[in-house]
Amino acid sequence: MPETAVAEAGAGISLKELARRNGLTASGRLPSLPEYTRQLWSYRHFIGAHASAKMTSSLGSTKLGAVWQVLTPIFNAAVYYVIFGVIIGTSKNVDNFPAYLCIGVFVFQFTQSIVQSGINAITGNLGMIRALHFPRASLPLSVALVEIRNFIVALGVLMAIVLLTGEPITWQWLLVVPLLLLQSVFNTGLALAGARFGSKLRDVKQLIPFIMRFWMYGSAVLYPVTMFTENDKIDGWMLTLIESNPMLIFIELMRHSLMEDVPLAGTPTSLWIGATIWSVVVGLGGYVYFWRGEKGYGRG
Amino acid sequence: MADNRIPTVVADDAHVIYKVNSSAAAGSGSPLASFKRLVTGSSPANVREVHAVKGVTFVAYRGEAIGLIGSNGSGKSTLLRAVAGLLPVARGSIYASGQPSLLGVNAALMNELPGERNVELGCLAMGMSPAEVKAKKDGIIEFSGINERGDFASLPMRTYSSGMGARLRFSIAAAKQHDVLLIDEALATGDAKFRRRSEQRVRELRAEAGTVFLVSHSEQSIRDTCDRCIWLESGQIRADGATDDVMKEYEAFMRK
């Protein structure tokens, strides 16, 4: 009795042969990268719907709702301004320190929030992953989409702050668009890589706040970038390392776009080249790294 | 057996071994022990390997409804998850046509969102186009019957009773034509009326040339829906055949 299935299939051909002839595939096979990208594209509506669903459900329980998208970055900037601009006084030789500081805080916040929610993109949706089949990259991508939308709102607030502090609108403001694009690609790569990393090693989540804080203090968010270049102790490879920090580059470029006469760490051209390289490397690298683990998500 | 039957799932001596994070044994949670594990690269002491499915071989054909029975912990759910491709097989292999879909009672959607948003999201996640979703949405909500006591479809899912949630999940999953549909205890949660309706839907899915696997402890729903039964006991197949024959054996075994 237990062997019935074997007996009926064994009348002639092996099970493997039977499966092959009928076009059955082994479950849990990894699709090729172009195939995966195509699958992901056909799930674009799901990614969009998931992103807006998450946005609704996270703000749904608050009274002010979507107003928080504007209030959170303002409060954030206010706290840092009081501590670093007024109390400690790191402004030194920057004329318009409030605008300078706000740009740093907002741009860094964009990457920070994407990393924090990217880490949870897989581990926070295990129920869905175990029940339904869809390309798993949809989840970190929807996280990235939420944060990109949030940042566009924050960018509007940021521009208002910059205007209020007395900066003029110039043609250079248009550079914000390619910059937003580059940083979004960079951040999406981080979200994808973080999602896989966080699903394999949950301990990472505990370390993220410290890593991000260290990164922020090293990215000239709260003090002028000239503190590095004018410091005698920092030179040679150390200065190169500090100046190739992608967050420093993105923040510098945003300041260059929105403000007049800001001291920069390098020439604008070298900064743009650096930003492009970082975006391509991290964006593609994150995507490939995530795809390699596609079949392992939600297991165990 | 006739050769014109088309196989949809082939399991060839499949073994499934999975790791479980059991509650930490005494001493293994101390910082020193954790550090030692990090340095030596050994697997954590609180991770144990469970050999849940030990060499299962069967062929499922198009149009069959197969009941999986067995006592608790016999590996039924694990086998389903392996067929769905959600757990890797350690040895042997499982082949399936298309992408098998697993429908379990734990298939959580987004609890903060209203039922109808979850229907849209679930359908999109199954790969439907937005136009298809729009066309099917009302049918799904009506089938689930959650609106029988007022407008529940627009309330967040966390306000639903467990039966209502399970009904909605079943309705979403059953809205799509699957080559292979795997149902884990989902029919047991609804009330009698819904159970009749869902059993009817399972029969329709079979008629539309799919294969349905059903795990259940309810003998009645197995007898009503399945024509074939596989009896698993501690990870191995004890019997595989017509539902009536296997059920008789199984009942005799359980009475012992």
Q: What residue has token string 């668009």?
A: A177
Q: Does A204 touch chain B (CB under 8 A)?
A: no
**pLDDT category, A276, cuts 50, 70, 90?**
very high
CB B82 within 8 Å of CB B9: no
Helix locations, chain B, DSSP H = 31-40, 76-83, 115-125, 130-144, 162-174, 192-207, 219-225, 243-255
| Contact: B127, A130; criterion CB under 8 Å | no
Q: Does A11 touch chain B (CB under 8 A)?
A: yes
What are A75-116's pLDDT values in tens digits? 887 887 788 777 776 666 677 778 888 888 889 988 998 998
What are A203-216's pLDDT values in tens digits? 778 888 898 888 88
- The distance from CA A28 to its chain's CA centroid, rounded to whole angstroms, is 28
Measured at the alpha carbon of residue B84, what is the angle toward residues A192 and B246, in degrees to the nearest 5? Answer: 160
What are A139-159's pLDDT values in tens digits? 899 999 988 988 898 888 888
Q: What is the pLDDT of residue B43?
A: 58
CB B189 within 8 Å of CB B163: yes
The C-alpha R_g of chain A, in whole angstroms, comes to 24
Half-sphere exposure of B36 (CA within 13 A, CB side): 9
| Contact: B12, A295; criterion CB under 8 Å | no
Q: Does residue A16 lie in a domain region?
A: no
| pLDDT of A232 above 70 | no
What value does the mean pLDDT take over residues B237-252?
84
Q: Does residue A145 lie in a domain region?
A: yes
| Contact: A9, B83; criterion CB under 8 Å | no
Residues present in chain B in total: 256
Token pair, residue A229, equals 């270049």
- CA–CA separation, B7 and A126 (whole Å): 31
Q: Does residue A169 lie in a domain region?
A: yes
Q: What percent of chain A has pLDDT over 90?
A: 14
Beta bridge partners of B229: B67, B241
> Could you tell me the maximum CA-CA distance found in chain A, to the nearest angstrom?
87
**pLDDT greater at residue B193 or residue A154:** A154
Q: Does A203 touch chain B (CB under 8 A)?
A: no
Q: Does residue A9 lie in a domain region?
A: no
Q: Given the DSSP bridges, would you call strands B211-215 and B65-69 parallel, antiparallel or unpaired?
A: parallel
Going from the N-terminus, what domains does chain B have, and what CATH number goes with each? 7-255 (3.40.50.300)
Closest CA to B228 of B8, B39, B68: B68
- CA–CA separation, B174 and B128 (whole Å): 13
Please tell me the total count of domains within chain A: 1
Residue in A closest to B47 by C-alpha: A300
User: CB neighbours (10 Å) of residue A110?
Assistant: 26
Q: Does residue A7 lie in a domain region?
A: no
| Contact: A49, B121; criterion CB under 8 Å | yes
> Measuring CA to CA, how many Å separate A231 from each of A266, A291, B106?
15, 43, 58
Three-state DSSP at B100 gives coil
CB A297 within 8 Å of CB A129: yes
CB A36 within 8 Å of CB A135: yes
- CA–CA separation, B237 and B35 (whole Å): 42
Q: What is the pLDDT of residue A6?
A: 44
CB A183 within 8 Å of CB A279: yes
**pLDDT category, A190, cuts 50, 70, 90?**
very high
- CA–CA separation, A30 and B126 (whole Å): 18
Chains A & B: contacts with CB separation below 8 Å: 145
Q: Does A13 touch chain B (CB under 8 A)?
A: no
Q: What b-and-e string marks burial along B186-205, b requiring 16 or more CB atoms within 10 Å of the CB?
A: bbebbeeebbebbbebbeeb
Q: What is the pLDDT of residue B3?
A: 53
| pLDDT of A201 above 70 | yes
- CA–CA separation, A296 and A151 (whole Å): 31
Three-state DSSP at A96 gives coil
**pLDDT category, B186, cuts 50, 70, 90?**
low
Q: Of the candidates A5, A25, A50, which has its C-beta nearest B59's C-beta? A: A5
Q: Of the candidates A24, A56, A134, which has its C-beta nearest B96's C-beta? A: A24
Token pair, residue A15, equals 């099970």
**pLDDT category, A3, cuts 50, 70, 90?**
very low
CA of A286, closest CA in chain B: separation in Å? 23
**pLDDT greater at residue B15 or residue A14:** B15
> Measuring CA to CA, how many Å separate A176 from each of A151, A203, A216, B152, B178?
12, 36, 21, 45, 47
What value does the mean pLDDT take over residues A48-67?
78
| pLDDT of B183 above 50 | yes
Q: Does residue A20 lie in a domain region?
A: no
Give phi and psi for B205, each to the nearest 5: -60, -40
Q: Does A19 touch chain B (CB under 8 A)?
A: yes
Q: Does B239 touch chain A (CB under 8 A)?
A: yes
Determine which helix (DSSP H) or strand (DSSP E) holds B12, and give its type and residue range: strand B7-21
Beta bridge partners of B11: B58, B94
Determine which helix (DSSP H) or strand (DSSP E) holds A44, and give its type and residue range: helix A44-59
CA of B81, closest CA in chain A: separation in Å? 8
Q: Does residue A24 lie in a domain region?
A: no
> Measuring CA to CA, how many Å separate A251 from each of A234, A268, B5, B11, B220?
20, 12, 64, 55, 66
CB B102 within 8 Å of CB A25: no
Token pair, residue A116, equals 């924090």
Closest CA to A279 of A186, A195, A199, A214: A186
- CA–CA separation, A99 and A97 (whole Å): 5
| Contact: A133, B83; criterion CB under 8 Å | no
Token pair, residue A96, equals 């318009």
Q: Does residue A21 lie in a domain region?
A: no
Three-state DSSP at B237 gives strand
Q: Which residues of B touch A131 (CB under 8 A)?
A: 102-104, 106-108, 169, 173
Range of the domain at A62: 31-295
User: CB neighbours (10 Å) of residue B90?
Assistant: 16
Give phi and psi for B180, each to the nearest 5: -135, 120
* Candidate ranges A30-44, A269-283, B132-146, B238-252; pick with highest mean pLDDT: A269-283
Q: Does B247 touch chain A (CB under 8 A)?
A: no
Q: Identify the weakest region by mean pLDDT among A221-230, B43-52, B95-104, B149-158.
A: B43-52
> Measuring CA to CA, how many Å separate A287 from each of A92, A106, A281, B159?
41, 25, 10, 37
